[in-house]
Amino acid sequence: MASTDARDKKTIGKLSKLAREVVRDINAEKDPSLSIPSRSLGNVTFDEARSIIELGDQKQQRQLFNVAHARKFMQTFLIADACRELIDEGKTTSIRDLYYITKHTLEGSRQNTFEDQDESDPIIEDLEVTIDALREELHLFATNKGSMVGPMTIVDSGDAIDLRRLGSGGWSIPSIVESNVIQFQECDAEYILLVEKDAVWRRLNEDKFWRANKCLLLTGQGMAPRGVRRLLYRMHKELKLPVYVLVDNDPWGFYIYSVIKQGSINLAYESLRMAVPKARFIGMSSMDREAFQLPDNVTIKLNDQDISRAKQMLAYPWFDKKAWQKELKTMLRSGVKLELEAFSNKGISYISEEYLPKKIRDRKWLA
Amino acid sequence: MVRATSTQKNDAAPKKPAKKGRRASAESMAQKQREISVSEFFTKNRHLLGFDNPSKALLTTVKEAVDNSLDACEEAGIPPELRVEIHQTAEDRYRVVVEDNGPGIVKAQIPKIFGKLLYGSKFHRLKQSRGQQGIGISAAGMYGQLTTGKPVVVTSKTGKGRPAHQYEIVLDTRKNQPNILADTTIDWERREHGTRVEIELQGNYRAGRRSVDEYLEQVGIANPHATITYVPPNNRAPLMLERVTDELPPETTEIKPHPYGIELGMLIKLMKESTHRSVSGTLQAEFSRVTARVAHQICETAGLRPTATAKRLGPQEIEKLYRAIPKVKVMAPPTNCIVPIGEELINRGLARELRAAIYASSTRPPTVYRGNPFRVEVGLAYGGDLRRMAIEEDSLTIKAKTEDRGEGPITLLRFANRVPLQYQQSACAIFKAVVDTSWKSYGLSQPRGGLPVGPMVLLVHIASVWVPFTSESKEAIAHYPEIIKEMKLALREVGRKLNAFLRRREKDRLQEKRRSIFSMYIGELARSLSRLGAGDETRIQKKLDVLVAKHAPQREVAVAAGASEVADSPVGLVEMSDDGELDDGELELDREEPRQLSLVDDDAPSAPKASKKKAAPKKKAAPKKKAAPKKKAPARKATSKKTTTKKTATKKTATKKTATKKTATKKTATKKTATKKTAKKKTAPKKGRRS
């Protein structure tokens, strides 16, 4: 694919430019340093107009001759070189694979280039933001996570897949879902439903909820990974389908929703191509306990972490909306949280047959 | 032992026949009252002389013989060459042989010196020497005789071509008189002159702490001018200590007592026995630093006529005189009679025995206690291997104490007039001074009331015309406040040097850590950058090396330790006295000599005497040598030291040159692998110290 080649060339150009800049400094006997956009809460801004989290202008300097940075500095270029090699060879690999590719013992020491994957993953993200390249442009992907079923046919790497005929497991969503890999074909869905929990997704799939309600049913198995988010974005944009998000009634669930809607702090630089600001929070709301008359005994007490997280979220600008403030405050006041599975207390298919249809019918969602 | 037991019987026997009611009468008691000879006294009280137990007895015997030998050699101006042998003759018996190259002993004196207690040349004078009383060697002989029945065998030869006399002597303990068992003339080809003493005694040889081995090692530290060969028993490997300097310590001179140190009884005796008529004349003749003016002042203060006849003074008048003395300002006694080891030689003496990371020393100016001049000096060896540079591994007694101690207390070596003190450490003024010094401020931890903790050997030496020991066995120094104060001052001086070193080392360590971190990553980085098309790997690496050197500069670390570190380290650096001239001399110290500047003998008051003419020209070169930093690592056995003296100056520049050249070639040839090492070498030869 010509377009791919051009993109790869551009990426390699960015990588080697980064290296050349460092060598220029070294040759001038200047201390080499890298400017890395800072990926911390302090450096993200909430763009109210577009309703997404964006990376600010703050950069952090990574200096070779700083004892605390030296290792990361070396690692950054080790990763950069490994990515260059991947691109050169036209291969794509997982970030775990990359960790193993780049791991070796440093000459004359007992230290390894990376001690574990937790050390290499952030370096990859650093590199992405530094040269402004996407992960897939670096020929990297994360492990597949997330499933989808629904009334649609897609083409995945040239294979047409009918998402209606995938049994109980569904289609495993790859981490790279760019248009050169995944194309959408005839689609009967009217909306997209992202479910936080795999178990709930299975319930809905078994009940063929998607068939009855004409929706694309996805799960990110917890926090939605990049592939799922990017796919949501593409379907939302390209198929013009509304996105509904169904999560637990706890701060973590709310946060998952907010990441899908506005983007995450850590991946703020990807917000523009992943965030779905119009995503609707369908549930589970703190008000649902009363509305659906769930018994007290299915509630779980908020733990300290939940409470502090909820309080934190109250301060996030993207939760600074009347409905959300009310939502969070109600949860804090009641002191309890609820899992989606709590609906099973009222019947195993209550969630698919009663709860969701009613919520959508009554337009009881938050945006 | 025979005599000792019989005396005991005498004591015990009369108890039974004692009458009822009164146990003894004056008359019956009078029968038992008789004179006790010194030898009898010491037979019973052998612990007073250091013969408490078999292992201590062996040590004391060696010690007394070695002290005598060193004293004799030095007094005669002969660089000492000692040979000490210990042979096991039975399970609990040892034969100690100590041989020296001293001047020998005149035939007629041999029996008295070795067969009579309290006979000697050193008691009646105020002069710095190892022996003080004239008890030691004859007591050792007596102890041998008591425990084995064997006589002392003394061989002595006074000059080339002269016969060597060999005596076998026993001591008549009742009369304190020598008995000569054999008197032969033998051929002693091996030595031109010298003395050989053989004593067989009941003893116990053991290695380790307070052993003969350790004692001789310490003798080596305090006597860097002595060559010592030691053959331990049981086929253990011999110990060879080559001298590190050819120059003898300058000859010590005898002085008269100083009025400040006199006691009333002594003053009475002086006045009564005076050969001078007047009080003033007697004072001037018997004391040092008493001029006519001072004598007059004393008499005036005491309300006496200076011309009064000394012998006719009554006890009250003498007491007045006695009380007047402290009120009159008298110049401190001459101190050129005190010869310290010297800072340079302390360092080298320590380096001969120990491989430490740093050696530092400090010699205090002379001062006075009770009218006796004395000088204190302190040396320390810190860190490194602290390993003795000996031929064999298992006699490393100092090492045994200092290593694998992690955080044990330091090893304290005490010396008095160059003689190691091994017993009664905690009773000694030195111990008190060390414990009372706050080592925490110098970077060592120190438990309350204890020795500081760390890999350190600390040497404290007091030199005096009269070292105040707490007992005749010369094991501990009495707690004179003047002495403790001087010791503390000296300890603080080396403490500051140590602290400077520790701080610098900490800084270096940090730099080294930084360097190693950078060096570890730049190879990897250079490769990645190069593969990313940013240039040639070797070139990038080289440029990075330059940056690493810039960011973690390497101070020249004399890792070689040993004497080389001593010489060029600012810490080990021996400084010139900062307080220059003495004013008026009043109670100030007589400072004819500057403080140790270079090799110890340089500034000594009584510069080389006739016998040392040969050494003189060498000395001139010494200060120069000091200026140039030494690059040479010390030879393992320090043998080379002897020859280096002359050549050092030229050799040094040569080594320097080659070193630089080597670096240059290395530099270009360097591959990424050698980063660390090159960085080190690059800076090493050129940069001096921090100076």
Burial of A218 (0-12, 13-18, 19+ CB in 10 A): buried
DSSP string computed for B87-103 = EEEETTEEEEEEEE-S-
Quote the pLDDT of residue B196. Answer: 93
pLDDT in tens, A211-245: 999 999 999 998 899 899 999 999 999 999 999 99
* Helix A304-315 and helix A251-262, axial crossing angle in degrees, nearest 10: 30
* Helix B315-324 and helix B292-302, axial crossing angle in degrees, nearest 10: 120
Q: Which of A63, A101, A71, A69 is nearest to A83 (CA)?
A: A101
> Which of B511, B515, B531, B532 should be substituted to probe chain A, the one whose Cβ sees the most A Cβ atoms within 10 Å?
B532
Query: Among all residues of chain B, which has the CA nearest to that of A77?
Result: B528
B401-409: long-range contacts, CB 8 A cutoff, minimum separation 24: B401/B209, B402/B354, B402/B455, B402/B456, B402/B457, B403/B455, B405/B455, B407/B445, B407/B453, B407/B454, B408/B453, B409/B450, B409/B451, B409/B452, B409/B453
Q: How far is CA A76 from CA A14, A21, A100, A118, B171, in A?
A: 14, 14, 15, 14, 89
In the predicted model, residues of chain B with pLDDT beneath 70 are 1-21, 118, 120-125, 132-134, 385-407, 554-691
| Residue B28: Cβ within 10 Å count | 14
Phi and psi dihedrals of B165, rounded to 5? -100, 140
Quote the pLDDT of residue B10. Answer: 45
**Poorest-pLDDT segment among A94-103, A192-201, B398-407, B559-568:** B559-568
Q: Contacts of residue A22 in chain B, CB cutoff 8 Å?
A: 529, 534
| Residue B351: Cβ within 10 Å count | 26
Contact A241, A235 (CB under 8 A): yes
For residue A338, the 8-state DSSP code is B
> Which of A21, A23, A106, A113 should be substituted to probe chain B, the one whose Cβ sees the most B Cβ atoms within 10 Å?
A23
| Residue B408: Cβ within 10 Å count | 14
ipTM value of the model? 0.76
Q: Which residues contact A184 (CB under 8 A, 6 or more apart)?
A: A152, A154, A155, A234, A235, A238, A239
Cβ-nearest to A106 among B513, B520, B550: B520
Phi and psi dihedrals of A328, rounded to 5? -65, -40
Inter-chain CB proximity A84 and B676 less than 8 Å: no
Query: Among all residues of chain B, which has the CA nearest to that of A23?
Result: B534
- How big is the A-B interface in CB pairs under 8 Å? 87
pLDDT in tens, B434-455: 999 999 999 888 988 889 988 8
**Is the dihedral angle over the CA atoms B321, B323, B328, B331 positive or is it negative?**
positive
Q: Which of A231, A214, A326, A301 is nearest to A273 (CA)?
A: A231
Amino acid making up residue A140: L
Inter-chain CB proximity B518 and A64 less than 8 Å: yes
Helix (H) or strand (E) holding B183: strand B177-186
Record the tokens describing residue B431, joined without a space.
């111990």
Inter-chain CB proximity B528 and A80 less than 8 Å: yes
Inter-chain CB proximity B523 and A71 less than 8 Å: no
| CA distance from start to end of chain A | 40
Q: Contacts of residue B542 in chain A, CB cutoff 8 Å?
A: none
Q: Which residues contact B145 (CB under 8 A, 6 or more apart)?
A: B151, B152, B170, B171
Contact A71, B521 (CB under 8 A): yes
Q: Regarding the domain delimited by B338-606, which CATH topology (the fold level of the hierarchy) does it fall under?
A: Ribosomal Protein S5; domain 2 (3.30.230)
B460 forms bridges with which residues in the sheet?
Answer: B378, B414
Boundaries of every domain in chain B? 46-205, 259-327, 338-606
Record the tokens describing residue B437, joined without a space.
């010094």
Q: Which residues contact B535 (CB under 8 A, 6 or more apart)?
A: A20, A23, A27, B529
d(CA B136, CA B471): 13
The most distant pair of C-alpha atoms in chain B lies apart, rounded to whole Å, by: 118
d(CA B52, CA B46): 6
Question: Which CATH number, 3.40.1360.10, 3.30.565.10, 3.50.50.60, 3.90.1570.10, labels domain A147-361?
Answer: 3.40.1360.10
Contact B89, B96 (CB under 8 A): no
DSSP strand E in A39-88: where? 44-47, 52-55, 59-63
Q: What is the domain class of B259-327 according to CATH?
A: mainly alpha
Residues A235, A237, A241, A242, Cα dihedral to 10°: 110
Q: Give A88→chain B minimum CA distance, Å.
A: 11
Sheet holding B194-202, edge to edge: B177-186, B164-172, B152-157, B194-202, B93-100, B81-90, B227-231, B239-241
Whether the upstream peptide bond of residue A284 has omega within 30° of 0, thus cis, is: yes
Query: Position of tokens 């612990």?
Result: B47
Average pLDDT of the segment spanning A248-253: 92
Quote the pLDDT of residue A144. Answer: 80
Identical topology for domains A2-141 and A147-361: no
Q: Contacts of residue B517 in chain A, CB cutoff 8 Å?
A: 67, 70-71
Query: Among all residues of chain B, which has the CA nearest to that of A103?
Result: B524
Query: Is B518 in the A-facing interface, judged by CB distances under 8 Å?
Result: yes
Cβ-nearest to A81 among B514, B528, B672: B528
Quote the pLDDT of residue A232. Answer: 94
Q: Regarding the domain delimited by B46-205, which CATH topology (the fold level of the hierarchy) does it fall under?
A: Heat Shock Protein 90 (3.30.565)
Q: Give A9→chain B minimum CA distance, Å.
A: 13
Record the tokens describing residue A367, joined without a space.
């945006």
Average pLDDT of the segment spanning A336-363: 90
Which among A100, A191, A255, A350 is annotated as catalytic?
Answer: A100
A47 forms bridges with which residues in the sheet?
Answer: A52
Q: Contacts of residue B540 in chain A, CB cutoff 8 Å?
A: 23, 26
d(CA A195, CA A210): 12
**Is the dihedral angle over the CA atoms B522, B528, B529, B534 positive or is it negative?**
positive
Boundaries of every domain in chain A? 2-141, 147-361
d(CA A338, CA A301): 9
Record the tokens describing residue A24, joined without a space.
């220029």
Q: Which of A124, A86, A119, A127 is nearest to A103 (CA)?
A: A119
Question: Which CATH number, 3.50.30.30, 1.10.10.10, 1.10.760.10, 3.40.640.10, labels domain A2-141?
Answer: 1.10.10.10
Strand B372-382 and strand B456-464: the pairing is antiparallel
Quote the pLDDT of residue B3. Answer: 41
Query: Is B549 in the A-facing interface, judged by CB distances under 8 Å?
Result: no
Give the A-side interface with B, CB within 8 Å: 15-16, 18-20, 22-23, 26-27, 29, 31, 64-65, 67, 70-71, 73-74, 77-78, 80-81, 84-85, 106-109, 111, 113
Q: Give B663→chain A minimum CA distance, Å.
A: 22
